Structure 1
Amino acid sequence: MSLVPGGPRPRRIVVMRHAETVDNAARVWQGHRDSALSDRGEQQVAAAAPHVAAYGPVVIVSSDLRRAVSTAEAVGELTGLPVRLDERLREVHVGEWQGLHVDDVHERYPEIVAALDRGEDVPKGVTGETRQDVAARAGAALREVADGLGDGETALVVAHGVSARVAASDLVGLDQDVSDRVFRGLDNCHWVELVEAGKSFSATARWRIAGWNLGPWKA
């Protein structure tokens, strides 16, 4: 909310994770692998889309991976908005882990898994990305969306478990290591609500987290 009577109305961004995929259900690492939504995922989209559409977005931006596009398009059908694609919102690239079952990854790459469990920002799957890598590209994409919003407008951004979290953290200026320790990953078809804090004391917009892992049902 603006601190100045009659001043600019706050802008809002909803950052949503895609619905469940067949690989999510099978506990397979996806990364940039272009997997389809599962039957449960389709049900999740049908349940969540009306809630997200109720925010009244004026623009929808999505990762170009099919699972995110399918989720975004469900909201687009309710709002009449086209979906703009941005590959910078893609999920973290997981290198050699892509397509592997979670149990196989633990068996073949125990040192990397242990480092990640300790909170270290090491590349996923040897040749994949770190969370800082993802924050740089996804954070830039989210800031562009924010900069394009007018007074009081709302945007919907559809991304992935890692890219959604790090992009949201980047926009609010939260250290990625702190974010990794504090915030759990988003559940499928859940979202983060980001609200502009106002510009009363600075020409630079400040953003705050108004809600985390929001959804129409309990995961």
Structure 2
Amino acid sequence: MRVTGSGGPRRIVLVRHAETVDNAARVWQGHKDTELSARGHEQVAAAAPHLAAYEPALIVSSDLQRAATTAEAIAGLTGLTVRLDERLREVHVGEWQGLHADDVRRRYPDLVAALDRGEDVPRGVTGESRAQVAERAGAALRDVAGELRPGQTAVVVAHGVSARVAATDLVGLDQDVSDAVFRGLGNCHWIELVESRKSFSEVVRWRIGGWNLGPWNV
């Protein structure tokens, strides 16, 4: 960990990886290890300077290639070494892994309908539920938070589902509410989590400072 910060709030910047070839092809990935697309490499080249500008004290990433490659591009501008944590992996999608989105809707209509209704059922029959991902990814994020000193920032690279549920777990937001209210993260976009207090209170807690931020809208 780089020793930075001189007091002030702690901050976690939670990033979704850049676009992959499977993202572009509308293929369910889950734990499938896929490479970044040409557009993904362009995205991370555009986003990395903005993320490095946070002057992170540490960078932690899912161990899946698409996240680790994104994290390495950020780390290359900071001099930091990326630490991998498999708890930040994307939701396991079971039987859907490697299938096109249209095939999933055609072959698993009842399961897709349940997800569309907001039910937290396991993805792809044998995969994970949202609650299971929140438990493991949320624990990883709390561990990162526990390492930060006052005024320090961590950049954490994860995935669309794992990033969202980890963030809402850290701030104590109900996962069903989060799923209904927040749009998904775009590739190479991020959530900014900041420790802060209300003006009338001494209680400090993690809060959402920004959602779906990116080099195109920061």
What is the TM-score normalised by the length of structure 1?
0.93
Contact 1:86-1:141 at 8 Å conserved across structures = yes
Contact 1:194-1:207 at 8 Å conserved across structures = yes
Cα separation, 1, equivalents of 2:68 and 2:100: 24
Aligned residue in 2 for 1:43: 42
Cα separation, 1, equivalents of 2:215 and 2:9: 24
Superposed CA deviations along residues 89-125 of structure 1, whole A, max 9, x for unmatched, are 0000000000000000000000010010111000000
Query: Which amino acid letter does the alignment assign opposite residue 136 of structure 2?
Result: R
Cα separation, 2, equivalents of 1:148 and 1:178: 28
Aligned residue in 2 for 1:54: 53
Aligned residue in 1 for 2:196: 197
Query: Which amino acid letter does the alignment assign opposite residue 201 of structure 1?
Result: E
2:59 alignment partner, SS class: strand
Equivalence map 1:1-219=2 (5 Å):
8-198=7-197, 201-202=202-203, 205-217=204-216
Query: Which amino acid letter does the alignment assign opposite residue 80 of structure 2?
Result: L
Runs of 4+, deviation exceeding 2 Å: 198-202
Query: Which amino acid letter does the alignment assign opposite residue 127 of structure 1?
Result: T
Contact 1:10-1:198 at 8 Å conserved across structures = no
1:14 alignment partner, SS class: strand
Aligned residue in 2 for 1:4: none
Cα separation, 2, equivalents of 1:87 and 1:48: 23
2:76 alignment partner, SS class: helix
Superposed CA deviations along residues 108-150 of structure 1, whole A, max 9, x for unmatched, are 0000100101110000000000000000000000000001000
Query: Which amino acid letter does the alignment assign opposite residue 193 of structure 1?
Result: E
Query: Which amino acid letter does the alignment assign opposite residue 165 of structure 2?
Result: V
- Structure 1 vs Structure 2: percent identity of aligned residues? 76
Q: In the TM superposition, what is the alpha-carbon distance from 1:198 to its structure 2 partner?
A: 4.2
Q: In the TM superposition, what is the alpha-carbon distance from 1:201 to its structure 2 partner?
A: 3.0
Q: In the TM superposition, what is the alpha-carbon distance from 1:216 to its structure 2 partner?
A: 1.0
Gaps of 5+ in 1: 1-6
Moved more, 192-201 or 135-144: 192-201
Query: Which amino acid letter does the alignment assign opposite residue 73 of structure 1?
Result: E
Cα separation, 2, equivalents of 1:42 and 1:135: 28
Q: How many residues align?
A: 210
Cα separation, 2, equivalents of 1:83 and 1:110: 40
1:79 alignment partner, SS class: coil
Cα separation, 1, equivalents of 2:8 and 2:45: 31
Q: Cα RMSD over matched residues?
A: 1.4
Superposed CA deviations along residues 178-198 of structure 1, whole A, max 9, x for unmatched, are 000000110000000000014
Aligned residue in 2 for 1:3: none
Superposed CA deviations along residues 63-101 of structure 1, whole A, max 9, x for unmatched, are 000000000000000000000000000000000000000
Cα separation, 2, equivalents of 1:112 and 1:157: 31
